[in-house]
A and B are shown apart, each in its own frame.
Chain A
């Protein structure tokens, strides 16, 4: 009943990663005004601060979601 595992899942990629890669590829193939709008729309800004001893440490600013090391 379960379908065979898709190749990206077998390689250890999650669905969201796969989905974002596909979306980025499509966005990069758009014609000009739409491409700039799409890339602009997808910019993200994160500020992540880890907490230690009940206090927030200095926030790390990210432009792409990655857990800080």
Chain B
């Protein structure tokens, strides 16, 4: 491995990618349509919204794989905090203080339109009552979850 700089920190490779087609979910696959690498950032902490709860990744964190929930991920640097809303994805924390955070959609909070969220939430809550099949219920439930998460950062 190359020499690492002497400043301690968690290195993040944040990939914003989309896989609309039903290919096998391979985050590093070259067939992913839009692969934007936010960059390798060296930061102090990343608070990651895992399905099992918030995961605070500090330098030297034990190696972990976590599935992400549609919630806010905050990146804490010396200069402050940057928050992103991630729709879905995975966090791979590696042993050398690297963390790969891979999200299908990771939007900075200021890009979220609060009006659209406030419109969508009651719409989905209404649909919850009228959904019939299991699959429809699951889809509507996902809508409710994502909109309530978007609503309350």
Known: A12-B135, A29-B117, A65-B20. A34 touches B111 (CB 8 A): yes
Q: Are the C-beta atoms of B18 and A23 separated by less than 8 Å?
A: yes
Which B residues are in CB contact (< 8 Å) with A16? 19, 22, 25
Is the CB of A11 closer than 8 A to any CB of chain B?
yes
Q: Are the C-beta atoms of A29 and B18 separated by less than 8 Å?
A: no
Is the CB of B55 closer than 8 A to any CB of chain A?
no
Is the CB of A2 closer than 8 A to any CB of chain B?
no
> 9 new A-B pairs (CB below 8 Å) besides A15-B25, A19-B87, A22-B104?
A8-B138, A18-B142, A19-B104, A29-B116, A31-B111, A34-B107, A34-B111, A44-B33, A65-B20
Give chain B's interface residues, CB within 8 Å of chain A.
Answer: 18-22, 25, 33-34, 51-52, 70, 85, 87-89, 104-105, 107, 110-113, 116-117, 120, 134-135, 137-139, 141-143, 146-147, 150
30 example contacts (A-B, Cβ-Cβ < 8 A) are as follows A7-B141, A8-B138, A8-B141, A8-B142, A10-B138, A11-B137, A13-B135, A13-B139, A18-B88, A19-B19, A22-B87, A22-B88, A22-B104, A23-B88, A23-B105, A25-B146, A25-B147, A26-B85, A26-B107, A27-B105, A29-B120, A30-B107, A30-B113, A31-B110, A31-B111, A32-B113, A38-B105, A42-B20, A42-B34, A44-B33
